[in-house]
């Protein structure tokens, strides 16, 4: 994902590449000077585990809410999303250990 | 009124920072939810870039379901976006249904509902209110006697005067840096009261702000 943020090194608004692992920001990188901002890796991994637990615990409620809001869309998208989930989590874990 | 009409990028197809995820929800939906939490019966207006309309609808239905949000297209500047939103409110302001307008920057997702309430109450009583925090003179190399305040949003003003100020500004081609600048120019007699701002009410500008905001949300239990 790219977004315009103010780079402290370039001292102007520049495009940044943002990498997320689940709900957590792993890093932002300025596309001009390549300055990277990230959490301490150890902190982030601990945080990721806590966040993953929270995602798993709250998933049924979130899915149920979404289902009542638009049952047809959730019904048809559910199988694809369920299949994609392990790959998605594997990619998140890879980001944390880069 | 939550402002999120920034173009996103001068460089191409980048996401406007207000649509970035922040601990599981978009920055803008956090700003919007904090704004409406204290005022369940009030109107909520989200000022967006017309190019973001479908994204806005998608995010509102997913993350701010249950809230009736009115979308208004913004302009080239913050001032113009505010004017467009006020124009949208003209019938309600003239009829007296809306008597105070709060303007909040969509890139400030950590302002608490308590701050919104305090700003609104103060504006209702005095005419205008804005949150401010003092800056340590040493921080920006000032003489100790000089006082500088760091102003935040939400800012709130009595609706009729605010609309009138923006109408006059339009005629004069005046563009204010923020809402209070416009009010102070056209209604200097109205008390624009400072309420105590919040240290954590950061405007997401630098990449570091996203990291700080995540930590603050973690402390607050992601609420």
In this prediction, residue B7 carries a pLDDT of 65
- On whether any CB of chain B is under 8 Å from the CB of A52, the answer is no
Nearest alpha-carbon partner for B2 in B181, B92, B26, B172? B26
- Per DSSP, what are the bridge partners of residue A24? A21
Do B14 and A4 form a contact (C-beta atoms < 8 A)?
Answer: yes
pLDDT tens for each residue of A46-78: 888 888 888 888 889 888 888 888 888 888 888
In this prediction, residue B15 carries a pLDDT of 79
In this prediction, residue B9 carries a pLDDT of 53
Q: For residue B208, which residues of chain A lie inside 8 Å, CB to CB?
A: 8, 37
Q: Tokens 């006697």 identify what position?
A: B145
SS3 A58: helix
Q: For residue A28, which residues of chain B lie inside 8 Å, CB to CB?
A: 207, 210
Average pLDDT over every residue of B200-210: 94
In this prediction, residue B13 carries a pLDDT of 57
Do B200 and B13 form a contact (C-beta atoms < 8 A)?
Answer: no
Q: How far apart are CA B175 and CA A29, in angstroms?
A: 34
Please list, in sequence order, all residues whose beta carbon lies within 8 angstroms of the beta carbon of residue B179, skipping any fewer than 6 positions away: B82, B103, B155, B157, B162
- Per DSSP, what are the bridge partners of residue A21? A24
Band of pLDDT at residue B136, cut at 50, 70 and 90? confident
Nearest alpha-carbon partner for A9 in A33, A29, A28? A33
Please list, in sequence order, all residues whose beta carbon lies within 8 angstroms of the beta carbon of residue A11, skipping any fewer than 6 positions away: none
- On whether any CB of chain B is under 8 Å from the CB of A19, the answer is no
- Per DSSP, what are the bridge partners of residue B15? A3
The average confidence (pLDDT) of chain A is 88
In this prediction, residue A30 carries a pLDDT of 95
Tell me whether residues A39 and B211 touch, CB distance under 8 A: yes
Q: Tokens 């919104």 identify what position?
A: B116
Does the model's pTM come out above 0.90? Answer: no
The average confidence (pLDDT) of chain B is 90
Nearest alpha-carbon partner for B48 in B20, B25, B72? B72
Tell me whether residues B208 and A37 touch, CB distance under 8 A: yes
> Does residue B141 have a pLDDT over 80?
no
Q: For residue B206, which residues of chain A lie inside 8 Å, CB to CB?
A: 5-8
SS3 B166: helix
Q: For residue B10, which residues of chain A lie inside 8 Å, CB to CB?
A: 4, 13
Burial bucket for residue A68 (CB in 10 Å: 0-12, 13-18, 19+):
exposed
Q: How far apart are CA B102 and CA B115, in angstroms?
A: 11
Residue to mutate among A2, A3, A8, with most B CBs inside 10 A, is A3
Minimum Cα–Cα distance from A7: chain B residue: B206
In this prediction, residue B8 carries a pLDDT of 56
Tell me whether residues B11 and A15 touch, CB distance under 8 A: yes
Band of pLDDT at residue B102, cut at 50, 70 and 90? very high
Q: In chain A, helix, strand, coil percent, each to 5?
A: 55, 25, 15
pLDDT tens for each residue of B148-180: 888 999 999 999 999 999 999 999 999 888 888
Minimum Cα–Cα distance from A66: chain B residue: B62
pLDDT tens for each residue of B31-84: 999 999 889 889 999 999 998 999 999 999 888 878 899 999 999 889 999 999
Tell me whether residues A1 and B17 touch, CB distance under 8 A: no
> Does residue B211 have a pLDDT over 80?
yes
Please list, in sequence order, all residues whose beta carbon lies within 8 angstroms of the beta carbon of residue B149, skipping any fewer than 6 positions away: B132, B133, B134, B135, B194
pLDDT tens for each residue of A25-52: 999 999 999 999 887 777 788 888 888 8
Tell me whether residues A13 and B10 touch, CB distance under 8 A: yes
Do B99 and B124 form a contact (C-beta atoms < 8 A)?
Answer: yes
Tell me whether residues B208 and A8 touch, CB distance under 8 A: yes
Q: How far apart are CA B44 and CA B32, in angstroms?
A: 8
Q: How far apart are the first and last CA of chain A?
A: 17
**All domains of chain B, ordered by start, with CATH?**
2-219 (3.90.550.10)
In this prediction, residue B20 carries a pLDDT of 94
The distance of B20 to chain A (nearest Cα, Å) reads: 8
Tell me whether residues B23 and A23 touch, CB distance under 8 A: yes
Nearest alpha-carbon partner for B88 in B163, B177, B15, B191? B163
């Amino acid at each position: 994902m790219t977004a315009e943020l103010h780079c402290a090194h370039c001292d102007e608004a520049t495009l940044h590449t943002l990498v997320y692992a689940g709900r957590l920001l792993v890093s932002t990188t300025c596309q001009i000077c390549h300055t990277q901002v990230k959490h301490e890796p150890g902190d982030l991994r601990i945080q990721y585990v806590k966040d993953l637990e929270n995602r798993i615990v709250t998933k049924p409620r979130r899915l149920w809410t979404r289902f009542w809001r638009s049952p047809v869309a959730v019904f048809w998208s559910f199988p694809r999303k369920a299949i994609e989930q392990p790959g998605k989590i594997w990619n998140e874990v890879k980001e944390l250990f880069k | 009124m939550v402002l999120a009409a920034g173009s996103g990028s001068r460089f191409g197809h980048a996401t406007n920072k207000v649509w970035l995820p922040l601990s599981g929800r978009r920055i803008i939906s956090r700003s919007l939810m904090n704004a409406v939490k204290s005022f369940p019966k009030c109107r909520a207006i989200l000022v967006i870039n017309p190019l973001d309309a479908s994204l806005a609808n998608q995010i509102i239905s997913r993350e701010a379901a249950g809230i009736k949000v009115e979308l208004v297209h913004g302009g080239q500047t913050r001032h113009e976006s505010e004017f467009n939103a006020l124009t949208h409110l003209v019938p309600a302001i003239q009829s007296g249904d809306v008597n105070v307008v709060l303007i909040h920057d969509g890139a400030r997702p950590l302002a608490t509902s308590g701050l919104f309430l305090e700003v609104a109450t103060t504006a209702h009583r005095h005419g205008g209110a804005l949150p401010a925090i003092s800056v340590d003179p040493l921080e920006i190399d000032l003489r100790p006697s000089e006082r500088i305040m760091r102003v935040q949003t939400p800012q709130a003003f009595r609706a009729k005067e605010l609309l009138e100020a923006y109408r006059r500004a339009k005629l004069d081609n005046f563009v204010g840096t923020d809402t209070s600048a416009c009010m102070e120019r056209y209604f200097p007699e109205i008390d624009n009261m400072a309420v105590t701002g919040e240290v954590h009410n950061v405007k997401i500008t630098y990449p570091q702000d996203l990291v700080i905001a995540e930590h603050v949300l973690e402390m607050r239990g992601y609420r």
